[in-house]
């Protein structure tokens, strides 16, 4: 249970406002060049469009005077894209990032075969340990509302205990942004959580803007590459628990498609 968010039975939402899902994996550097054909063939059934590109990585070190020095290194990387262009993999010598756009993602179970292929590929190119694994779900919903202020909109979407301080501002009509940002870290997980309304014009009615719920959860304990699917499954369950915990009952009801 990550950061005290209660374990929930996963539901399949009939509706969603998911823009993208990203899985990122970091590992000790390996030389990709000898495996180019293997990489292309291994993922071709999911990502038939294959291109080679340059990847830039950066390290920060302190010199003798304790002055930070930024060094950049260029290395080979590969980009693999699905036939419909809605999913892609960016692979370099020390990381792999899988991105699926929201309209190409309906449930995690459909992604498991891709993750299993990634696990197999990484093992074949010599990656035995995953140093860091993360899942990010970015939800963005546009709105048009006659609500008197933005707090009313937030209360309709976010659980009350996560937005109470918004009611404390005496001049709500002056507000043009209402975002909440938190970073939580323990010995197992790192969570970057952002939600709210990034920009709106409070002087006009109806209020027009977008609501963002951005959940980025990382597993910071290294694990064997063979356990990649299990680790991603665990991460996905925890991300669901967080989304379920911070959203209002009204929003969950609408997403589930139940009658109110």
What is the tens place of the pLDDT at every residue in 136-176? 999 988 777 777 677 778 888 889 888 865 556 666 666 77
Closest CA to 3 of 182, 242, 216: 242
What pLDDT score does 59 carry? 44
Give the pLDDT confidence score for residue 7 in this predicted structure.
81
Q: What is the pLDDT of residues 196-231, one digit of tens each?
A: 888 777 677 777 778 899 999 999 999 999 999 999
Quote the pLDDT of residue 74.
Answer: 47
State how far Cα 34 lies from the chain centre. 31
Which pLDDT value is given to residue 260?
Answer: 32
pLDDT digits over 111-139, tens only?
999 999 999 999 999 999 999 999 999 99
Residue 62 has pLDDT above 70, yes or no: no
Residue 6 per-residue DSSP state: P
Per-residue model confidence (pLDDT) at position 5: 87
Hey, what are 192's tokens? 């970057």
Note the pLDDT tens digit of each residue in 40-55: 999 999 999 999 876 5
pLDDT at residue 66 above 60? no
Is the bond into 206 cis (omega within 30 degrees of 0)? yes
Q: For residue 110, what are the contacts with CB-CB under 8 A and spacing of at least 6?
A: none
Residue 10: pLDDT band with limits 50, 70, 90:
low
Q: Are 241 and 2 in contact (CB under 8 A)?
A: yes
Task: Share the mean pLDDT of the chain.
Answer: 84
Mean pLDDT for the stretch of residues 88-99:
96
With CA atoms as reference, report the closest residue to 142 among 212, 193, 194, 195. 212
Q: For position 240, what pLDDT does the model report? A: 92
- Look at residues 191, 11, 25, 33 and name the one whose alpha carbon lies nearest to residue 114: 25
pLDDT at 58: 43
Q: Does pLDDT of 61 surpass 60? A: no
Mean pLDDT lowest for which of 34-38, 56-60, 170-174? Answer: 56-60
pLDDT at 176: 72
pLDDT at position 258: 43
Measured distance CA(189)–CA(157) in Å, rounded: 26
pLDDT of residue 151: 76
């Amino acid at each position: 249970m990550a950061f005290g968010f209660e374990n929930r039975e996963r539901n399949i939402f009939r509706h969603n406002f998911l823009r993208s899902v990203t899985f990122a994996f970091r590992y000790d550097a390996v030389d990709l060049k000898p495996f180019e054909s293997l990489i292309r063939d291994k993922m071709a059934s999911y990502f038939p469009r294959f291109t080679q590109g340059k990847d830039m990585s950066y390290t920060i070190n302190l010199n003798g005077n304790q002055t930070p020095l930024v060094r950049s290194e260029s290395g080979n990387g590969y980009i693999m894209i699905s036939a419909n262009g809605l999913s892609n993999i960016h692979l370099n010598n020390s990381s792999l990032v899988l991105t699926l756009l929201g309209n190409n993602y309906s449930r995690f179970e459909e992604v498991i075969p891709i993750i299993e292929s990634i696990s197999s590929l990484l093992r074949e190119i010599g990656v035995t340990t995953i140093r860091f694994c993360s899942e990010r779900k970015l939800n963005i919903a546009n709105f048009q509302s006659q609500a008197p202020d933005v707090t009313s909109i937030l209360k309709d979407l976010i659980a009350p205990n996560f937005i109470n301080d918004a009611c404390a501002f005496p001049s709500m009509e002056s507000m043009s942004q209402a975002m909440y940002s938190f970073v939580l870290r323990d010995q197992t997980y790192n969570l970057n959580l952002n939600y709210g309304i990034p920009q709106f014009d409070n002087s006009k009615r109806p209020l027009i803007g977008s609501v963002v719920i951005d959940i980025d959860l990382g597993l910071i304990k290294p694990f064997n590459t063979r356990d990649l699917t299990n680790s991603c499954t665990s991460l996905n369950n925890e991300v669901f628990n967080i989304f379920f915990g911070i959203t209002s009952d009204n929003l969950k009801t609408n997403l589930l498609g139940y009658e109110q």
